[in-house]
Structure 1
Amino acid sequence: MTTRTLVITSSILGENGQSKALAEHFTAQAQGRGVEVTRRDLAADELPHLALAELGSWQVSEEERSPEQRELAARSDSLIAELRDHDVVVLAVPMYNFGIPSQLKAWFDRVMRAGVTFRYTENGPQGLVEGKRAVILAARGGQYAGTEMDTQTPHLKLMLGMIGIKEVDTVFAEGLAMGEGKRDAALKEARQAIDGLVERL
């Protein structure tokens, strides 16, 4: 059975981004093992920030939506369908001012929908996107993993967990702006970690 993997990049540096390079390494290794990969580049195909009109379109039943509301709702519907259609989601994430890129946040704003990808119950929220795994490929100029300065990783795991994706592996490539030797060693270690993850797909 083929593992379907959705690889999402969000670096504004494009082909020069280190997170994008990690995603390309993952893709090459995965495809070499027969894994089916779908790419989504949120910087090249940018989503607008979520606005009231789009949010409101989700609250209207499909048959009652206006043409504009159908168009707005289709944006979220298609992204959720794409997510559901894959077994693994890979997020290649640079760190911008200690957070995730706004392009990636705009994607999460469309796939985190109450009543669709999660619901509220008497026992708290319940994720509705089940049976999937996630991989975070984190590229950073400094070294933050395991410290209170890494607000990014808990945020990502919280959002993924909210929709039901609780099995999350993280690969860090840190210290990339701390000298050539540090960068090269970090990227080599990250590529090796990616190779190990791909073997388990």
Structure 2
Amino acid sequence: MTHKILRIDSSIKSEGSISRQLSDDILARLKSSYQNAEVVTRDLGANPLPPTDAHWLGSFATPVDERSPAQAETVALSDTLIAEIKDADTILIGLPIYNFAAPAQLKTWLDQMARAGETFRYSETGPEGLVKNTRAIIAFSSNGTRLGSDIDFASKYVRHMLGFFGITDVQFVASDHYAIDADSSLKAANEGVAAIAA
């Protein structure tokens, strides 16, 4: 059976990105565990998604047969993004820390998919995620914002949003003090990669 991996890169750096390198290492680890892995890559740093603005909201509010070509295209993109996460067995997300938070382009990706009836629904007991049996591995990189610290406003948010969609099996691999001690930071990240189980 094919193991489907969705890779999300969000670094604005095309070269020298720690989160991209860490994602490369994690992906290699996953491929060694799943010989029949199939990978879909979406590079949000190189190809940012359009914002969830008034046009985006209006596109979904407009009946299907009344949508303009631009509105139909907007809805189709969101549908594609949702289909990608629903189809994936594992989602690999590169999470570089920018100003103590997640990159804007990664938040836009999450916003595009936060659609009632598609990735979550409201029930009598509260919201319920609709993306089931999916695992997420987060490649967390920072020059000095430690994973889970008081100034880390990214990891908890990303974990919460994934959980909101129903993805609760979330693992972080971190290189989180690169500017302070590059060798130690990379050593910890390598140990995290090695600990990833199939």
Q: Distance in 1 between matches of 2:43 and 2:69?
A: 27
Provide the secondary structure at the position in 2 that maps to 1:138: strand
Deviations 1:84-136 (A, max 9, x none): 11111111110001110011011111111112111111211111111111111
Q: CA deviation at 1:11?
A: 0.6
Q: Distance in 2 between matches of 1:37 and 1:188?
A: 26
Q: CA deviation at 1:49?
A: 1.9
State the match for 2:188 in structure 1.
189
Where structure 1 has 5 or more consecutive residues not aligned to the other structure, the ranges are none
Q: Distance in 1 between matches of 2:192 and 2:43?
A: 22
Deviations 1:23-69 (A, max 9, x none): 11122232334222222110111112221111221233433422221
- Identify the match of residue 151 of structure 2 among 149, 152, 159: 149
Q: CA deviation at 1:81?
A: 0.8
Q: Distance in 2 between matches of 1:63 and 1:191?
A: 52
Q: How does 1:42-191 map to 2 (within 5 A)?
A: 42-178=44-180, 182-191=181-190
The question of whether the paired residues in 1 share the 8 Å contact of 2:97 and 2:145 is answered with no
Where structure 2 has 5 or more consecutive residues not aligned to the other structure, the ranges are none
Q: CA deviation at 1:82?
A: 1.1
% identical aligned pairs: 40
Q: Normalising by structure 1, what TM-score?
A: 0.91
Q: Distance in 1 between matches of 2:70 and 2:123?
A: 32
Q: Which amino acid aligns with 1:123?
A: T
Q: CA deviation at 1:188?
A: 2.4
The number of equivalent residue pairs is 196
CA root-mean-square deviation? 1.5
Residues 63, 191 of structure 1: alpha-carbon distance in 2 compared, 3 angstrom cutoff:
farther
Q: Normalising by structure 2, what TM-score?
A: 0.92
Q: Distance in 2 between matches of 1:152 and 1:68?
A: 32
Provide the secondary structure at the position in 2 that maps to 1:14: coil
